C-alpha cells in the first residue's frame, strides 16, 4: 500500500491484476505504478494468477517488497472460454466496502507521474461518470491511431486501466450481469461483447457513462494469448524488457 494521508483526493482504492503467463509484464506494471506515484495515494493491490507456467521470480520478488499478495485465481492457463471477466467479477463482489476499484491489465506500463491521482480527480468532478479510462499508447510514444478508437474507447470501459466508483449500482450490475464476455445471437447475425462491454451498456441505462482522462498509459495489447505473429510478439517483449530494465534502475 502507498499510504497517502495528506492528499485531499486520497481515497480507498482496491486494485486487481490477473496474471496469465505474463509475469514479466506484471512486474513492469507494478514497478512502473509505484515509480510514477511517489505522492499521496491510498491504494492496495492484489494479483490473481491463473497457474502461470512462466518465470515468476522477478514478479514475486518485487511483490514481496510491497506486500502485494499473489493469489491463485482458481483457473488454469487453458480454459474453454476467457476467465478474465469471471475473476474480476468475483473481485468486485469481494470488495463492496472501498470507494474505488482499479482494474489493471498485466501489459500496462505507467509512463506519466501521478496518473492515478489525475484520473481520480477527473472522476470525482463528474457526477455522470461511473468510471474513467486513460488515453492509450501502444508504442510508449504516440496515442493509438484513430481507427482503433471505436473498439478501445467508445464501445466499452476498457479494463486495461479502469478506475471505477464502487457504488451500490455498480455492485448490483456486476452481481446480476457480471464482467465476462458475451455472445449476442441476433435474428440476422451475432455480435461478440468483450470483457466489460455488457456492463458498460447496462450502466448507461442507469444514466452513467465512461469518461476519458487526460493522462496516458502504455498498453501492449494481446500478450496473454497467441493472437499475433511471432515477430510482433517479440517486438513487444523487447520493448517490455527495455522498460522493465529502466524501472528496475529507478
Q: Which pLDDT band, with edges at 50, 70 and 90, does 39 fall under?
A: confident
DSSP-H helix ranges across the chain: 23-36, 57-65, 84-94, 115-124, 149, 168-176, 197-205, 230-249
pLDDT digit string (tens) for 91-130? 999 999 999 999 999 999 999 999 999 999 999 999 999 9
The answer as to whether 3 is a domain residue is: no
The answer as to whether 4 is a domain residue is: no
The answer as to whether 191 is a domain residue is: yes
Q: Which pLDDT band, with edges at 50, 70 and 90, does 9 fall under?
A: very low
The answer as to whether 1 is a domain residue is: no
| pLDDT, average across residues 221-234 | 84
DSSP-H helix ranges across 48-135: 57-65, 84-94, 115-124
The answer as to whether 5 is a domain residue is: no
The answer as to whether 35 is a domain residue is: yes
Q: How many domains does the chain have?
A: 1
The answer as to whether 42 is a domain residue is: yes
| pLDDT, average across residues 134-154 | 85
Inter-residue contact 102 to 13 (CB < 8 Å): yes
The answer as to whether 117 is a domain residue is: yes
Q: Is the pLDDT of residue 1 over 50?
A: no
Q: Report which secondary-structure segment, H or E, holds 165.
A: strand 161-165
Q: Which domain holds residue 184?
A: 13-249
Q: Is the pLDDT of residue 226 over 90?
A: no
**CATH code at 160?**
3.90.550.10
Amino acid at each position: 500500500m502507498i499510504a497517502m494521508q495528506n492528499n485531499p483526493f486520497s481515497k480507498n482504492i482496491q486494485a486487481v491484476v490477473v496474471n496469465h503467463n505474463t509475469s514479466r509484464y506484471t512486474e513492469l506494471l507494478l514497478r512502473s505504478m509505484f515509480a510514477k506515484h511517489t505522492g499521496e495515494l491510498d491504494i492496495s493491490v492484489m494479483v490473481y494468477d491463473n497457474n502461470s507456467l512462466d518465470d515468476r521470480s522477478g514478479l514475486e520478488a518485487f511483490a514481496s517488497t510491497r506486500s502485494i499478495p499473489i493469489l491463485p485465481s482458481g483457473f488454469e492457463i487453458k480454459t474453454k472460454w476467457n476467465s478474465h471477466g469471471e475473476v474480476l467479477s468475483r473481485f468486485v463482489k469481494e470488495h463492496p466496502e472501498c470507494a474505488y476499484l482499479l482494474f489493471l491489465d498485466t501489459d500496462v506500463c505507467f509512463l506519466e507521474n501521478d496518473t492515478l491521482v489525475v484520473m481520480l480527480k477527473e472522476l470525482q468532478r463528474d457526477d455522470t461518470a461511473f468510471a474513467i479510462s486513460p488515453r492509450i499508447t501502444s508504442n510508449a510514444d504516440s496515442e493509438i491511431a484513430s481507427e482503433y478508437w471505436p473498439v478501445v474507447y467508445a464501445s466499452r470501459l476498457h479494463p486495461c486501466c479502469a478506475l471505477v466508483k464502487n457504488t451500490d449500482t455498480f455492485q448490483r450490475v456486476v452481481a446480476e450481469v457480471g464482467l465476462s464476455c458475451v455472445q449476442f445471437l441476433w435474428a440476422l447475425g451475432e455480435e461478440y461483447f468483450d470483457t466489460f462491454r455488457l456492463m458498460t451498456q447496462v450502466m448507461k441505462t442507469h444514466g452513467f457513462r465512461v469518461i476519458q482522462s487526460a493522462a496516458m498509459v502504455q498498453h501492449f495489447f494481446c500478450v496473454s494469448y497467441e493472437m499475433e505473429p511471432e515477430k510482433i510478439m517479440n517486438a513487444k517483449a523487447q520493448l517490455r524488457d527495455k522498460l522493465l530494465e529502466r524501472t528496475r534502475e529507478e
